């Protein structure tokens, strides 16, 4: 609420009177920054979820995100917007889209961006809530176009919606149909859209267009088999190092032993697109991130041909203690997609080194017991370390903020098992997530981005990635290296202070 001489206005009154940007400007000063990131994109105030519209236009990277500025919780979706010329330092831009047409009355849901003829075009889902009646859908979801010549102000296309659900395709009762992502192939535009089969399993539909405005349904590009979820959100077609993958966020995949322990997953499936048939032939799911908090990633093709990816560093239905501080959720750092040893790996984008400021290097050290270095005890920064595990059973690294709040990662050399543990922000109990490196390896490379309330841990240059939020009660931090049954040689160890991404 803001006060003037005569009255105290409610959020609902302000929402009516102020533009989203005026509301944000009036309230961003109220945000408590104790857990607010320095080098991750987060909303100035209010809520964000999926990254959207990740694109390159007029010499700048554009990133949009699902945004509800009025409260730090999900609400009718707007598109927040930031731009960058180097993928590292970002500028805030005005809110790009908000619900103001009958076809997007209850939200401008996720979608993508692509440059065409000197204009930045956004294709997004218009979401309309219906009153749920038995046997009838609870929503209408359509795909809509918004276009900008300056990359800042967007006009919704007069022919919207440009894609409606194809009549001859059977669908689930609730008519899920969202999150378009466009790419170009042989002079034609292709869009994947997430959907559901009548059996309530996930599927991806593919459409084609010559101009982004007129679209034809091509085919069901892929669909869930077995335990692959009831709805496939946020599909992406990704091309990297001469390989192809379908990347998507299936809802409702059930835990299988130590896999799929999060509420929803984000996966890649390597394969090959048959453009003639509109079918993607593919392998099984591989998780893109094995931590607690990663969802709805979006990819883009950088001008130099690299495939870049940003995800939402959060998970639906997890407790988000920063909501008490007036903001909620953040993006991951940008990552790159590469093909190595028959697998997709996702190291951090190479541009991120531009954030480095002061370096605190340690000489080569033999770790015989729990060891920490005073200069590494910082709330934000980047850790780069390499270890030789020949003389030990493994290594644990603790990112501690007092006994109770620590996040720990452990590698068991013989099995290759990696375990990430934290205190659950929802239950307060310790919880674990699991990944696997090849068994028996003696070398381990670790790169960690630590940013007040988040950790992104990259092992062996993106072979395993684990992301998590954590909510320490104080600003104190310490990194503890703990050899497991033996001694570990740290062959490289440096902690970088990192700068802010917003001026
Ligand atoms: C994924 C998602 C999308 C949808 C958006 C709504 O997290 O559910 O499917 O477009 O969030 O905010």
CA–centroid distance, 216 to ligand 1, in Å, is 24
CA 344 to chain centre: 17
What pLDDT was estimated at residue 403?
A: 65
Q: Which atom of ligand 1 is nearest to the CA of 234?
A: 9
Once rounded to an integer, what is the mean pLDDT over residues 117-146? 94
CA–centroid distance, 111 to ligand 1, in Å, is 9
Two tokens at 49? 């979820």
CA nearest to 46, candidates 445, 387, 339, 320: 320
Lowest mean pLDDT across 36-40, 411-415, 472-476, 498-502: 472-476
CA–centroid distance, 165 to ligand 1, in Å, is 17
The residue whose C-alpha atom lies closest to atom 12 belonging to ligand 1 is 109
Residue 2 has pLDDT above 60, yes or no: no
Contacts of 435 (CB under 8 A, 6+ apart): 287, 290, 417, 418, 420, 459, 464, 466
Separation between Cα atoms, residue 207 and residue 237, nearest integer Å: 13
CB distance 468 to ligand 1 below 6 Å: no
The CATH superfamily of 351-498 is: Exo-inulinase; domain 1 (2.60.120.560)
Once rounded to an integer, what is the mean pLDDT over residues 244-259? 98
Separation between Cα atoms, residue 268 and residue 101, nearest integer Å: 34
Mutate to test the pocket of ligand 1, among 73, 97, 110 (most ligand atoms within 8 A of CB): 110
Q: Is 289 a catalytic residue?
A: no
Residue 129, strand partner residues: 139
CB distance 195 to ligand 1 below 6 Å: no
- Tell me the pLDDT tens digit for each residue of 227-246: 999 999 999 999 999 999 99
- Tell me the pLDDT tens digit for each residue of 52-73: 999 999 999 999 999 999 999 9
Residues 151 and 220: beta-carbon distance below 8 Å:
no
Cα angle for residues 389, 416, 420 (degrees, 5° grid):
95
Once rounded to an integer, what is the mean pLDDT over residues 99-113? 98
pTM exceeds 0.85: yes
- Tell me the pLDDT tens digit for each residue of 317-361: 999 999 999 999 999 999 999 999 999 999 999 999 999 999 999
Three-state SS at 321: helix
CB distance 50 to ligand 1 below 6 Å: yes
Separation between Cα atoms, residue 309 and residue 336, nearest integer Å: 6
Tell me the C-alpha to C-alpha distance, in Å, between residue 211 and each of 121, 124, 157, 214, 460.
Answer: 11, 16, 13, 6, 42
Q: Which atom of ligand 1 is nearest to the CA of 110?
A: 10
Two tokens at 144? 């809509």
CA–centroid distance, 47 to ligand 1, in Å, is 13
CB distance 179 to ligand 1 below 6 Å: yes
CB distance 66 to ligand 1 below 6 Å: yes
Q: Which atom of ligand 1 is nearest to the CA of 125?
A: 10
Domain ranges of the chain: 5-346, 351-498
Mutate to test the pocket of ligand 1, among 233, 251, 267, 311 (most ligand atoms within 8 A of CB): 233
The CATH code of domain 5-346 reads 2.115.10.20
Three-state SS at 76: coil
Tell me the C-alpha to C-alpha distance, in Å, between residue 11 and each of 66, 69, 96.
Answer: 20, 11, 21
Residues 380 and 452: beta-carbon distance below 8 Å:
yes
């Amino acid at each position: 609420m803001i006060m003037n001489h005569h009255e105290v206005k409610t959020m609902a009154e302000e929402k009516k009177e102020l533009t989203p940007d005026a509301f944000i400007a009036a309230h961003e000063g109220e945000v408590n920054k104790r857990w607010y990131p320095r080098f991750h994109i987060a909303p100035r105030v209010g809520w964000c979820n999926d990254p959207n519209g990740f694109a390159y236009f007029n010499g700048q990277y554009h990133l949009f995100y699902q945004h509800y500025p009025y409260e730090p919780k999900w609400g009718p979706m707007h598109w927040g917007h930031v731009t960058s010329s180097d993928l590292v330092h970002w500028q805030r831009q005005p809110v790009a889209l908000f619900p103001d047409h009958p076809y997007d009355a209850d939200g401008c849901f996720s979608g993508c961006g692509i440059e065409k003829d000197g204009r930045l075009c956004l294709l997004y889902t218009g979401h309309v809530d219906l009153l749920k009646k038995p046997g009838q859908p609870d929503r209408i979801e359509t795909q809509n176009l918004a276009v900008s010549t300056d990359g800042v102000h967007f006009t919704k296309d007069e022919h919207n919606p440009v894609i409606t659900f194809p009549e001859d395709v059977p669908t689930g009762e609730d008519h899920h149909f969202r999150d378009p992502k466009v790419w170009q192939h042989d002079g034609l535009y292709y869009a994947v859209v997430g959907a559901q089969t009548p059996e309530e399993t996930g599927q991806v539909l593919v459409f084609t267009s010559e101009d982004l405005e007129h679209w034809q349904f091509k085919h069901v590009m892929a669909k869930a088999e077995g335990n692959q979820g009831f709805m496939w959100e946020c599909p992406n077609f990704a091309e990297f190092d001469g390989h192809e993958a379908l990347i998507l966020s299936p809802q409702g995949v059930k835990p299988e032993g130590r896999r799929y322990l999060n509420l929803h997953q984000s996966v890649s499936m390597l394969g090959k697109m048959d453009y003639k048939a509109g079918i993607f032939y593919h392998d099984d799911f591989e998780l893109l991130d094995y931590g607690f908090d990663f969802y709805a990633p979006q990819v883009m093709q950088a001008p130099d041909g690299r495939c870049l990816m940003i995800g939402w560093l959060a998970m639906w239905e997890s407790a988000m203690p920063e909501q008490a501080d007036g903001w909620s959720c953040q993006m991951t750092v940008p990552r790159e997609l590469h093909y190595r040893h028959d697998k997709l790996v996702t190291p951090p984008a190479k541009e991120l080194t531009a954030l480095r400021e002061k370096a605190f290097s340690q000489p080569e050290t033999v770790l015989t017991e729990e060891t920490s270095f005073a200069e590494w005890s910082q709330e934000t920064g980047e850790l780069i370390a390499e270890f030789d595990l020949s003389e030990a059973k493994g290594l644990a690294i603790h990112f501690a903020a007092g006994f109770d709040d620590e996040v720990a990662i452990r590698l068991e050399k013989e099995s290759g098992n990696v375990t990430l543990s934290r205190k659950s922000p929802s239950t307060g109990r310790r919880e674990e997530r699991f990944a696997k490196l090849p068994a028996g390896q003696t070398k381990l490379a670790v790169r960690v981005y630590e940013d007040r309330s988040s950790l992104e841990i990259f092992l062996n240059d993106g072979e395993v990635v684990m992301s998590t939020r954590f909510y320490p009660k104080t600003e104190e931090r310490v990194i503890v290296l703990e050899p497991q049954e033996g001694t570990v040689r740290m062959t490289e160890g440096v902690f970088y202070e990192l700068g802010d991404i917003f001026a």
